[in-house]
Amino acid sequence: MLENALTIADLKRMARRRVPKMFFDYADSGAWTEQTYNANEADFAKILLRQRVLVDMTNRNLATEMIGEPVSMPVALAPTGFCGMQHADGEILAAQAAEAAGVPFCLSTMSICSIEDVAANTKKPFWFQLYVMRDRGFIENLIDRAKAANCAALVMTLDLQILGQRHKDLRNGLSAPPKWTPKHAWQLATRPLWCLQMARTKRHSFGNIVGHASNVGDLSSLASWTKEQFDPRLSWDDVAWIKEKWGGKLILKGILDPDDARRSVDSGADAIIVSNHGGRQLDGARSSIAALPGIVEAVGDRMEVHMDSGVRSGQDILKAVALGAKGVWIGRPFLYGLGAGGKAGVTRCLDILRNELDITMALCGKRDIREIDTDILDRQPGL
């Protein structure tokens, strides 16, 4: 059945049929009007590629580096909360698929499987994403746990100290584990395979938090928990503090403005991710792909720039790389794969993207991803 999925949109349709509504909607939603969520995808389609012919297309290479780590293609799996609710043990399965595919996996603070769980079930060091909370003791402890698990990079998320409202989550009464109301019971009853797989695992709540953070209120409600725990006073001084405490490679996630990008260079971080959190935070902000060129110009070659939000195909990856991204991160594409078919679904997602990227690069007349630049773009007047 997974072989029938030819595109990320196919995986999305399959996931919709297998994942209970509240969790599918959690992935497939943006903040408020979803203007930015929609723009993230739509703006990629406005960028055109140059078709070139009669050039040698043999021996193509997609392998490159992200923050000095070799990757088989310039793609990383973005940190996503509740990943283990798209499929039982979701973070472990996605990390294993990423490892086999030779691309980085980044575990979210708000994951269902814990740092230790993922470390015990993978061989290669993964990356860890940090949300900074008011309880600094808990944050120090999280950083120590990521170090103990041998995580190779820390991704500090900057654009979610306050949660953007997502109407679907509120209407669905999203929680992990799901509540036992008739509405939720019906959503589960209509997804028996998901329930069966969930019944076989003990991982049903936020593994990095339960049993580690003190004074945890209603953890099952992400909205109220974020409000209670996340620190809205987060500042550049905290970036310096985290950098020192972590001591390893640091990536800042959620930069959308050239001024913030310039500030990031001074922070000493190793890379930034141009991101609007997949359109889940500031509705009305520009798409990440539209923001990318201005940020690349602002930082020059002083820092590595990555991007995420809206990547749905190999063509999108190539366009982002052409505009200066050293790598792209994918959220929903791999979540749809996970929901559609667990580890094999994530592998399918990565195979689809790799194949599209490879053929598209060839049709643009290029053989090496490391040599891609704006030369492959069709700068049609008026676009």
Ligand X SMILES: Cc1cc2nc3c(=O)[nH]c(=O)nc-3n(C[C@H](O)[C@H](O)[C@H](O)COP(=O)(O)O)c2cc1C
Tell me which residues touch ligand X (CB under 6 A). Answer: 26-27, 40, 78-81, 108, 110, 129, 157, 253, 275, 277-278, 280, 308-311, 330-332, 335
| 89 and 33 Cβ atoms separated by less than 8 Å | no
Compute the distance between CA of residue 292 and CA of residue 324 in angstroms, rounded to an integer.
8
Nearer to ligand X, 40 or 96 (CB): 40
The dihedral sign for the CA sequence 338, 153, 239, 326: negative
Whole-number minimum distance, CB 12 to ligand X, in Å? Answer: 11
Whole-number minimum distance, CB 105 to ligand X, in Å? Answer: 12
Whole-number minimum distance, CB 329 to ligand X, in Å? Answer: 6
Nearer to ligand X, 128 or 361 (CB): 128
Compute the distance between CA of residue 266 and CA of residue 302 in angstroms, rounded to an integer.
10
Whole-number minimum distance, CB 310 to ligand X, in Å? Answer: 5
Place of tokens 């929609």: 38
Compute the distance between CA of residue 350 and CA of residue 170 in angstroms, rounded to an integer.
31
Whole-number minimum distance, CB 53 to ligand X, in Å? Answer: 32
Is 277 labeled as catalytic in the residue annotation? yes
Strand partners, 271: 251, 304
Q: Tokens standing for 47?
A: 């960028």
Nearer to ligand X, 43 or 299 (CB): 43
Compute the distance between CA of residue 11 and CA of residue 341 in angstroms, rounded to an integer.
9
Helix (H) or strand (E) holding 98: helix 90-101
Residues 6+ positions from 205 with CB-CB distance below 8 Å:
112, 176, 177, 219, 220
Whole-number minimum distance, CB 294 to ligand X, in Å? Answer: 19
Whole-number minimum distance, CB 155 to ligand X, in Å? Answer: 7
What is the end-to-end Cα distance of the chain in Å, rounded? 39
Q: Which of 87, 167, 184, 277 is catalytic?
A: 277
Nearer to ligand X, 84 or 324 (CB): 84
DSSP E strand boundaries for the chain? 48-49, 64-66, 69-71, 75-77, 106-107, 127-130, 153-157, 249-255, 271-274, 304-308, 327-330, 377-378
Q: Which of 89, 157, 88 is nearest to 127 (CA)?
A: 157
Compute the distance between CA of residue 295 and CA of residue 291 in angstroms, rounded to an integer.
7
Nearer to ligand X, 159 or 366 (CB): 159
Q: Which of 137, 135, 177, 127 is nearest to 157 (CA)?
A: 127
Phi, psi for 278 (deg, rounded to 5) = 65, 30
Nearer to ligand X, 184 or 253 (CB): 253
Nearer to ligand X, 168 or 367 (CB): 168
Active site positions, annotated: 277
